[in-house]
Structure formats: structure tokens, C-alpha cells
């Protein structure tokens, strides 16, 4: 049987930016991301700045209002042949001052072997 290496997108998830708070982390998905991602994209489509956490305790990323960040973990795969990915089931969360309108979106891509 032949193995097939395919790239799959995460299911697009979002957080209502009007419901986030500066003193509480809000998870994109309580279960975590469904694949071991080599690329994550977070889009802050709101009118407020936000912070992103990979562990629900610490601030790891800052995203200004209306901005998008791409995190390509393969750029850290050195020496050649090594693989850098975000662990499957990582629970990303968002924190910030509640926005007047908008959402914060999480998308990404992972490899699946069959």
C-alpha cells in the first residue's frame, strides 16, 4: 500500500472580540487544534489589540487591531530534514480589551500521512 502525504487546513475557528477580557484567556477551541501545524495564521478582524497564548497562562504573541500574523514553524527546521510543528491538541487562546465589534480568527495547515 502506498503512503500519501497530504496537507489539510484546520477548521476555521473564531472568538467574538466583544466577549474577550484583559484578565481572562478565551480559547479558540477548548479541545485544541486537530493537527500538528506547520503554519498558523491569526487574523484580528476587530478594533482592539489582542494577545495570543499557547498555554493559557503567558502572553506569546501580540496582534494589533485589524492585523494578521502568519507563524511558519518550518523556518525553524534546522538542520535540514528536521520538522518543526505546533503540537497536535495545543489550545490557543486570546486575551485583550473587549472590542466594539469584530472577531479574532485562527486558521492553519498540517500534514497528514495515509
Domains identified in the chain, total number: 1
Contacts of 99 (CB under 8 A, 6+ apart): 17, 18, 20, 46, 47, 48, 65
User: Is residue 1 a part of any domain in this protein?
Assistant: no
For residue 84, what pLDDT is reported?
76
Domain span at residue 11? 7-113
| pLDDT tens-digit map of 58-94 | 999 999 999 999 998 877 656 666 677 888 999 999 9
User: Is residue 16 a part of any domain in this protein?
Assistant: yes
Q: How confident is the model at residue 21 (pLDDT cuts 50, 70, 90)?
A: very high
User: Is residue 14 a part of any domain in this protein?
Assistant: yes
Give the CATH number, domain containing residue 51: 2.60.120
Least confident of 14-28, 65-79, 97-111: 65-79
User: Is residue 97 a part of any domain in this protein?
Assistant: yes
Task: Please tell me the pTM assigned to this model.
Answer: 0.88
User: Is residue 43 a part of any domain in this protein?
Assistant: yes
Q: Is the separation of the CB atoms in 111 and 39 below 8 Å?
A: no
User: Is residue 36 a part of any domain in this protein?
Assistant: yes
Amino acid at each position: 500500500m502506498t503512503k500519501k502525504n497530504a496537507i489539510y487546513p484546520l477548521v476555521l475557528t473564531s472568538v467574538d472580540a466583544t466577549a474577550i477580557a484583559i484578565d481572562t484567556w478565551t480559547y479558540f477551541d477548548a479541545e485544541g487544534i486537530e493537527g500538528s501545524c506547520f503554519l498558523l495564521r491569526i487574523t484580528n478582524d476587530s478594533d482592539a489589540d489582542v494577545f495570543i497564548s499557547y498555554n493559557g497562562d503567558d502572553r506569546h504573541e501580540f496582534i494589533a487591531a485589524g492585523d494578521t500574523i502568519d507563524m511558519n514553524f518550518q523556518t525553524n527546521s534546522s538542520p535540514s530534514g528536521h520538522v518543526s510543528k505546533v503540537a497536535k491538541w495545543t489550545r490557543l487562546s486570546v486575551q485583550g480589551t473587549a472590542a466594539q465589534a469584530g472577531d479574532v480568527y485562527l486558521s492553519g495547515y498540517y500534514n497528514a500521512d495515509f
